[in-house]
């Protein structure tokens, strides 16, 4: 059985009243989330919701022709599958593990049942949903208006906020898929950031050398989303 201390690695679970959290412990399952694992596909019913601990999940919106791009990332500050819980409908997006790690899962119908009637469960989930809406809309702004360099900075920073340390294990291909751009574009952008002394990129690993510099180079979208998250969510995931 998952212990309270373990569950609290996820900030939303940590924000639950102790009584609610303890009731959930028996039903929460600790899971390993390997890189690339798909937690749910678009238009398929959701069996589980996920609360990441050390893993990071990308929410990808998929077009009819198969093209996709990331619309939000969820890490230890959140939950994957909340809109399906709120609507009782299939999810619109694909949830893919972007950084391998641990998390917890809960049967969606357990949360669905409690969400409608237990205010102390509902409240933190709703606040997270507002943060997610802010992130999603800011992603739209960023996709439209900002350079690939800026988007890459934002993406690295948002990933960094959801893990400890300053290293990301990630291929350029994965970043290209997330940002919905060609791989060559990501390579060129990474070279520019490296030349500016902000990151070091080697064989599937990005080390951040100068975080303030990266923040400066990123567009305003990163700051907008970060301030929404810190305003809305109980435990800071970011710095």
Partner 1 sequence: MTTASADSDNALVELLPAADRANFIAHCEPVAFKLGQVLHTPDADTAFAYFPTRGFISVVAPLASTPGLEVGMVGNEGMVSAQLILGVGESPFRAVVQGAGDALRISASDLREQLGECPRLKAVLDRYVAVLIRQFATSAICVRYHAIRPRLARWLLMCQDRAHTDSFRMTHEFLAYMLGVRRAGVTQAAGALQAAGTIRYVRGTLTVLDRDGLERTACACYRADRLAFSSLLR
Q: How far is CA 29 from CA 112, 220, 236, in A?
A: 17, 38, 24
Tell me the torsion sign for CA atoms 167, 172, 177, 179: positive
Which phi-psi region, left, alpha or beta, contains residue 203 (left: φ > 0; alpha: ψ -120 to 50)? left
Please choose, out of 26-34, 86-94, 157-165, 195-203, the segment that lies near partner 1 by the rule CB under 8 A.
86-94
CB atoms within 10 A of CB 170: 20
Nearest to 41, CA basis, from 86, 80, 78, 88: 80
**What is the gyration radius of the CA atoms in the chain, in angstroms?**
17
Q: How many residues bind partner 1 (CB under 8 A)?
A: 43
- Residues in a beta bridge with 72: 59
118 counts as binding partner 1 under rule CB under 8 A: no
When binding is defined by CB under 8 A, the residue of 57, 59, 152, 160 that contacts partner 1 is 59
When binding is defined by CB under 8 A, the residue of 51, 77, 93, 233 that contacts partner 1 is 93
Please choose, out of 2-10, 84-92, 152-160, 205-213, the segment that lies near partner 1 by the rule CB under 8 A.
84-92
- Residues in a beta bridge with 51: 104
126 counts as binding partner 1 under rule CB under 8 A: yes
When binding is defined by CB under 8 A, the residue of 136, 187, 194, 230 that contacts partner 1 is 136
When binding is defined by CB under 8 A, the residue of 61, 110, 209, 238 that contacts partner 1 is 61
64 counts as binding partner 1 under rule CB under 8 A: yes
When binding is defined by CB under 8 A, the residue of 38, 44, 67, 191 that contacts partner 1 is 67
Q: Which is nearer to partner 1, 74 or 163 (CB)?
A: 74
Q: Could you write out the DSSP letters of every residue in 88-147?
A: SS--SSEEEEEE-EEEEEEEHHHHHHHHHH-HHHHHHHHHHHHHHHHHHHHHHHHHHHS-
92 counts as binding partner 1 under rule CB under 8 A: yes
When binding is defined by CB under 8 A, the residue of 11, 139, 177, 237 that contacts partner 1 is 139
Residue 27: DSSP 8-state = T
Binding site for partner 1 (CB under 8 A): 59, 61, 63-64, 67-69, 71-72, 83-84, 86-89, 92-93, 115-117, 123, 126-127, 129-130, 132-134, 136-141, 143-145, 180, 220, 224, 228, 231-232
């Amino acid at each position: 059985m998952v212990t309270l201390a373990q569950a609290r690695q996820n900030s939303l679970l940590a924000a639950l009243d102790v009584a609610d959290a303890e009731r959930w412990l028996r039903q929460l399952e600790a899971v390993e989330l390997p890189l690339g694992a798909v937690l749910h596909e678009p238009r398929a019913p959701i069996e589980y919701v996920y609360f990441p601990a050390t893993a990071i999940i990308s929410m990808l919106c998929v077009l009819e022709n198969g093209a996709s791009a990331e619309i939000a990332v969820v890490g230890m500050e959140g939950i994957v599958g909340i809109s399906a819980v709120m609507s009782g409908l299939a999810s619109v997006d694909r949830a893919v593990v972007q950084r391998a790690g641990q998390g917890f899962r809960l049967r969606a119908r357990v949360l669905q049942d409690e969400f409608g009637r237990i205010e102390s469960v509902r409240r933190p989930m709703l606040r997270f949903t507002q943060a997610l809406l802010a992130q999603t809309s800011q992603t739209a702004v960023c996709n439209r208006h900002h350079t690939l360099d800026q988007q890459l900075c934002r993406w690295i920073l948002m990933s960094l906020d959801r893990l400890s340390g300053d290293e990301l294990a990630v291929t350029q291909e994965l970043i290209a898929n997330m940002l919905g751009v060609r791989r060559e574009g990501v390579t060129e952008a990474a070279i520019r950031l490296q030349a500016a002394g902000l990151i070091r990129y080697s064989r599937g690993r990005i080390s951040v050398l100068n975080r303030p510099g990266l923040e400066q180079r990123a567009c305003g979208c990163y700051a907008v989303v970060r301030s929404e998250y810190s305003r809305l969510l109980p435990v800071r995931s970011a710095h």
